[in-house]
Structure formats: structure tokens, C-alpha cells
Homo-oligomer: A and B are copies of this chain.
Amino acid sequence: MKNTDISSIGEFGLIDMIKNQFADSKDNKNIVAGIGDDSFCFKSGKNNICITKDMLVEDVHFKKDWTTPQEIGRKSIEVNVSDIAAMGNVKPEYAFIGLGLPPKTSEIFIKNLYKGFKKACDKYEMAIAGGNTVKADKITISITIVGIGKEKVIKRNGAGSGDLIGVTDTFGNAGAGLALLYKYGTKHKYNKYEHFLISKQNNPKARLKEAQKISKHLTSLTDVSDGLYISVDLLAKDSGKGAEIYMDKIPVSSSLKKVFREDKKQLDLALFGAEDYELIFTVPHSKAKLLKKLVPHISYIGKIDSSEKVKYFYDGKEQKIKYSGYKHF
């Protein structure tokens, strides 16, 4: 065996390696959704128990200079609730907070971080169920959320040919906010459009209510954490299907348009900018109008086909799109 390091295998190589090793976990009949879905769900009597777990590391996922401790706390909870929302009509019930802290971390920082955790948990009527703290070199936040649902959970792999592909709101804002912070830092005098984009980066909101409202009509569902491009790919591939995406239909905010005036740049941010935490889903054509009544800010950006390829169109013409997202390793 070659002693390759993980920066050369890449994140997806690493995930494949791990998936492989634990494929047999799928044999358990109580498991409703497993590796490859946004949360792990198992049956317990009439309930589906859904569990999500994510780790955020200082200077990788957040920078203390760019965001307040309260925002870090809130965001850590929101991004995990987003993974619960990605399973459909599930209520997040309990949050567990693991913290790795450098000994020099100030008491005020921790108090404000916890204020952020608490505010986000209160918003979802979720109890902070436990947590532990250990010494670490960088602030490390490991959140586990337990959700309980009574309806069928919606997985990534149920999209059918002809289904419409819908999304809950606009894309590219969070990535644009991050780009601004990278370019100008925090001392810069930002205008209100730029502020909006930065706030989308620092204060994302999970689309839990939307998921709960539309869940029972959906054939597949996931949240968009690593950019629309990757999420479309996952939905299509996991369902064994292909898709057509109409780029002119991808919704972008008026702030994004004001700050990044080029069409191409807007679409780049929408497709490859991470951390929008909007939902993407598929729904039979017959249900499309009903869904827009339930959640008016839904847009349809394409449809599922049986081609096993994802094709992008702009103004009716097929486009070559090359992945240009962020690599974790």
C-alpha cells in the first residue's frame, strides 16, 4: 500500500474509502437512512430517530476575526438543523455540543458562543442535551442533533424521470459574502447589498419549516451545503438518473446582482459557492403548483431525466460546466 496522504486522495476519495469499509451497516433493517444521506435515521417504534453530526474547526470553517462568537454558535446549530430539515418532516429535539478549546480561550468568548447555541436551539424549541469540552489547539465545535419524525423520511435517492427540481430560495449569497470577506476583510466599509451577502455567510438559516410543509409531496430532498452543482449531482446520481438544469432559472438575490454585476460571476457563485443551506428537492409535475402555494419562494430550476448525466442549459443552449468548488483537503 502506498503511503499517500489525504491531501492527494481528496475529500471524496476519503469518503469513498470510509463508505466502503462500512457498507455492511446497511444490512440492519431498522436503518431508514444511512451513509449518503444528510442524517442517519433509524426506526424506534412508530418514530424515526434522525441524527446528524458535524464538526466545525476554527480557521477552516470560521475565522474569529470575521464573525462574532454568537454567530459561530448560531451557525453551528443552524447547519446541523439544515441536515435534519433535509430529511423532511422531522422535529429537531436534542442538541449535543462538543467543544475543543485552547486553554487561552476567554470566558467571554465561550459565554457568547453558548449564547449563540442557546438562541438557535430556542428558535427550534430544541433542548441542549449535553456536551463535553476538551483541550484543543484550535476551537473545534462538534454538534450532534437528534430529531424525531413520524412521517416517512425523504432520502436523496427517490427522484423519478420527469420530476421537477425545485429549490427554496436564492443561491450564491453565502459564497459571495465569503468572497467579500476574503477580499476586503472586516474593516472595509461595506454597502447594504454587501452586508446582506456577508450576513448570509455568517447567519445562515435552516429551511426547517419549508421542509416540514412540503415533505410529504417530495420524491427526493437534500440541503445545499457545498454548492448547487454538487447537490444536483448527488440527487441525480443517488437516484440513478440524470437532470437538465436551466441556468437562467437559478434564482439569485438582488443584492448578489448589485454586487457582482456579471451574469457569469453570479452563476459561478450560485453553482459553486458553498453554505447557502437552501433545500433542493424533486417533485412530480402534478404537485409543483401546490408546493408553490405552500412555500411561495420556491423556484423550479430543471427536471430529472433518465440520461444519467447532468446537463446545463443557458438561454436554450447546452453549456459546458466545469466544477470549480472548494476542496476540503
Contacts and interface: CB of A to CB of B under 8 A. Distances in A.
A211 to B, nearest CB: 19
Given A1-B107, A5-B105, A6-B103, A54 B144 contact: no
- Which one of A22, A61, A101 has the greatest number of beta carbons of chain B within 10 Å? A22
Interface string A44-67: 111101010111110011000000
3 smallest A-B Cβ distances: which pairs? Answer: A45-B45, A7-B103, A25-B127
Interface stretch (A27-35, A230-238, A269-277): A27-35
Interface string A68-110: 0000000000000000000000000110101111011111101
Contacts of A103: 5-7, 329
Nearest to A41: B129
Interface string A301-329: 00000000000000000000000000011
Interface stretch (A131-139, A188-196, A201-209, A280-288): A131-139
Nearest to A131: B18
Nearest to A36: B130
A127 B6 contact: no
Contacts of A40: 94, 96, 129-130
Contact of A138 (B60, B108, B136, B144): B136
B47 A6 contact: no
Number of copies: 2
- Which one of A94, A96, A130 has the greatest number of beta carbons of chain B within 10 Å? A130
B114 A57 contact: no
A15 B94 contact: no
A259 interface: no
A140 interface: yes
Given A47-B45, A61-B134, A148-B44, A107 B53 contact: no
A113 B314 CA distance: 46
A6 B60 contact: no
24 contacts: A2-B107, A3-B108, A4-B106, A7-B104, A17-B111, A17-B114, A21-B111, A25-B127, A31-B129, A42-B146, A44-B148, A49-B49, A51-B94, A51-B96, A51-B146, A53-B130, A53-B132, A57-B134, A60-B134, A60-B136, A101-B329, A136-B138, A140-B140, A144-B144
A128 interface: yes
Contact of A130 (B34, B45, B49, B55): B34
A100 B58 CA distance: 11
Contacts of A24: 127
A9 interface: yes
A103 to B, nearest CB: 4
A108 B2 CA distance: 8
A110 B25 contact: no
Contacts of A144: 51, 53, 96, 144
Given A11-B133, A40-B96, A45-B47, A106 B54 contact: no
